[in-house]
Amino acid sequence: MFGIWHLILHLCLPLDRPGGLGIDLRPRTAAGPMEDFSAMLPIAEIYPLLKQPRRVVIIMHQKPDADAMGSTLGLSLFLRKLGHQTTVISPTNWAEWLKWMPGAGAVMDYEFAPGKAQAVLDQAEWVFCLDFNTLTRTRHMANALRKLPVPKILVDHHQQPETPVFAYGISNTEKSSTSEMVYDLIVESGHKALIDIDIAACLYAGVMTDTGSFRFSGATAGVHRMVAVLKDTGLNHTQIFENLFDNFLENRLRFMGFVLQNRMEVFYEYNAALIAIPWKDLVRYEIKTGDTEGLVNYPLSIQGIKMAALIIDRDEEVKCSFRSKGDFDVNTFARNYFDGGGHFNAAGGRSTDTLEVTVQRFINALSENSSQLQ
């Protein structure tokens, strides 16, 4: 896939797409909208283009987790070493416990300062989209992104990508994390030697959290080999673990205790459990972005529980998280019932109903999936 195409495309520079200025060698439907590509080009086709410095914007999904923040910052630090100007933009704010990451202080919050972020987007020559695969995951940024007439480049490991939107990219659900995919990009483009301790810290945070501290099946031998390379930069993995997991305030632990005691329901007949949290609990415990991260996993520690759900009334909408063990597919479950998706064993969704109605819909959905949950 790389050999002859790489050579032809390289000879045909400039080939930035879309916009009609570049030379698109693939067959395409006549005169469609600017972004109507039948499929995105392989990520390897940007490797020779990395030589030319550009103004690059790198974006992640709303309410970013450590993989979204780590992969975008890791890519940003790498591209800067190649001479690119980079800006990382998050669609929304992010958790306090991500703020230690190298470069995090310069990340822009689109929701907080849309004008400033839009001005940067308007100057961009490339937009990398990391750790999400449908523009709706960027919330209020989605329209601006859809209109932006520059190539968007996808690097992501979620299921069912919106590929027509992206000029180049890679979508691989086998990958442990987007951070691992950024590592692959750096290595495959011939720049492994540029990985320093700051890049390593960002990528390690992403892969460690997305593999559940290396316990999920995505933590392959290749992931462990990557971690060995990251460790060789001098990386302090103990410090990173503490930054991510021992970096909360007392109220968050009190909140966890309260909801596990009072808001969790176990449905043994479906091997499932639910934590449903009303808005008033978030207010009472002064819960901030990131404080509920990981909560959905607790019910899975009960013997026999195969599926866990966390449904939170966030006031503006009701947010759902789903986790499973083994062969129950929460990506499909989230898509079918809660306007969401994600991975086979970890997915999210939303509801415009009240918390009570959403909980009832969840219980009905459990009964419809009863046989798959046995």
Q: Does 131 bind Mn ion (CB under 5 A)?
A: yes
**Alpha-carbon distances, residue 203 vs 78, 287, 303, 342 (angstroms):** 11, 27, 33, 20
**Helix intervals (H) in 137-236:** 142-147, 178-188, 197-210, 221-231
Shorter beta-carbon distance to Mn ion: residue 200 or 274: 200
Shorter beta-carbon distance to Mn ion: residue 186 or 359: 186
Q: Does 156 bind Mn ion (CB under 5 A)?
A: no
Q: Choose the binding region for Mn ion from 143-151, 176-184, 217-225, 256-264 (rule: CB under 5 A).
A: 176-184
**Which of 146, 181, 148, 182 has the alpha carbon at shortest distance from 164?**
146
Q: Choose the binding region for Mn ion from 4-12, 44-52, 208-216, 354-362 (rule: CB under 5 A).
A: 208-216
* Strand ranges of the sheet holding 168-171, from the earlier edge strand across to the other edge: 41-42, 168-171, 152-156, 126-130, 55-59, 85-90, 108-109
Q: Choose the binding region for Mn ion from 188-196, 209-217, 276-284, 339-347 (rule: CB under 5 A).
A: 209-217
Q: Does 210 bind Mn ion (CB under 5 A)?
A: yes
Q: Choose the binding region for Mn ion from 96-104, 170-178, 195-203, 222-230 (rule: CB under 5 A).
A: 170-178
Shorter beta-carbon distance to Mn ion: residue 150 or 296: 296
| Nearest distance from C-beta of residue 351 to Mn ion, angstroms | 23
* Element (DSSP H or E) covering residue 342: strand 341-342
Q: Does 67 bind Mn ion (CB under 5 A)?
A: yes
Sign of CA dihedral 110, 112, 118, 121: negative
Shorter beta-carbon distance to Mn ion: residue 203 or 276: 203
Shorter beta-carbon distance to Mn ion: residue 45 or 180: 180
Q: Which residues contact 258 (CB under 8 A, 6 or more apart)?
A: 281, 285
Quote the tokens at residue 253: 């632990």
Residue with tokens 């919106």: 162
Residues that bind Mn ion (CB under 5 A): 67, 131, 177-178, 210
